[in-house]
Amino acid sequence: MDFGVVLAYVAGIIVVLVMVKVFTKPLRVVMRLVLNAVLGALALLLANWIGGMFGFHIAFNVYTAFIVGTLGIPGFVLLVILKLLFGIV
């Protein structure tokens, strides 16, 4: 094999590895945000299902979904506290 061909293969492999490294970090952030959104939505649905027996209900709309989706379980706890203390959710 010619040295130039070997050098091209090595350079290609390095470029591929760098591209994988560059694109996996943002993907992890997006996947974590999606996981938080799913867990938050499940927490809201569970709270409304169980709380419905006791007259407790948190609105499931764009704003509450955004809060719980962005903050995850702490966002859900925030909504519960707002509902219990101020009744505004």
Q: What is the pLDDT of residues 21-39, one digit of tens each?
A: 888 878 888 888 788 778 8
Number of domains in the chain: 1
Residue 89 burial by CB count (10 A; 0-12/13-18/19+): exposed, middle or buried? middle
- What domain range is 13 assigned to? 3-85
pTM of the model: 0.64
Residue 51 burial by CB count (10 A; 0-12/13-18/19+): exposed, middle or buried? middle
Q: What is the DSSP letter of 57?
A: -
Q: Among 59, 57, 37, which Cα is nearest to 48's?
A: 57
Q: Among 79, 73, 70, which Cα is nearest to 42's?
A: 73
Q: What is the pLDDT of residues 59-82, one digit of tens each?
A: 888 788 878 878 888 888 899 899
Rg over CA atoms, the chain? 23
